[in-house]
Amino acid sequence: MIEMKEKMKFSTRHKFGLAQENQFLCRHCRKFVFTGGEFSGVRSRNHCPFCLHSRHLDLVEAGDRLSACKGVMKPVGLTRKQTRKKYNPQGGELMLIHMCQDCGKLSINRIARDDDAHLIYEYFQKSFLLTAEMKHLIYSQQIELLGEAEADFVIRRLFGQGGMGLHETWQPEEWASLSPRLAEYPGSV
């Protein structure tokens, strides 16, 4: 059974050109993305470090590349990887929440070392404007959407202990002036 799964994984990766080229063209921003772990620090990259959009490739687990959908997935917020660490229950790895624009499936993806940290923070801020229905959908999938109360945690994870003063510079009235690339944010008011 394991051999069959490995063969399927290889053939699927080969089919999409990932095994040969180690790169893909982002369907959202049209930039080439290198998938090698040397830069990103992740094994199964399927989101763009420039615009953070992804592609609906995985069906059951990260890296299986078995989904038939193949739709574009937009980042809709941030969550933290659930951990059972006894001495750091509020820790955990920061992760992107993506929503498929074709089928509506939600997934979480590890943030890679070369992802645009400022854009990640913009999506975090923008997620405060999600509709109640969108938040309910996220919570119904057992995904913890990080909110304003976790701003210090997010800033520390993205920018280090000092946080570059971001928590003092972003105010709710400034959210409307966020980057134009966030104009079509799914599920916002």
pLDDT digit string, tens, across residues 112-161: 888 999 999 999 999 999 999 999 999 999 999 999 999 999 998 899 87
Q: Output the CA torsion sign for 37, 158, 176, 127.
A: positive
pLDDT of residue 182: 47
pLDDT of residue 77: 97
pLDDT digits (tens, 9 = 90+) for 160-178: 876 655 544 444 445 445 5
| Tokens (6 digits) for 53 | 């959009």
Q: Which amino acid is at 57?
A: L
pLDDT at 4 over 90: no
CA 128/CA 143 separation, integer angstroms: 15
Q: Decide if 117 contacts 158 (C-beta within 8 A).
A: yes
pLDDT at 22 over 60: yes
Place of tokens 């994870």: 157
| Tokens (6 digits) for 95 | 């992760």
pLDDT digits (tens, 9 = 90+) for 23-80: 889 999 999 888 877 777 777 677 999 999 998 888 787 777 888 898 999 999 999 9
Distance spanning both ends of the chain, measured CA to CA:
47
CA 185/CA 99 separation, integer angstroms: 11
CA 10/CA 32 separation, integer angstroms: 22
pLDDT band at 188 (very low <50, low <70, confident <90, very high): low
pLDDT of residue 84: 63
Long-range Cβ contact pairs of 160-163 (< 8 A, separation 24 or more): none
How far, in Å, are 48, 72, 79, 103, 187 from residue 139 at the CA level? 25, 21, 11, 18, 14
pLDDT of residue 186: 54
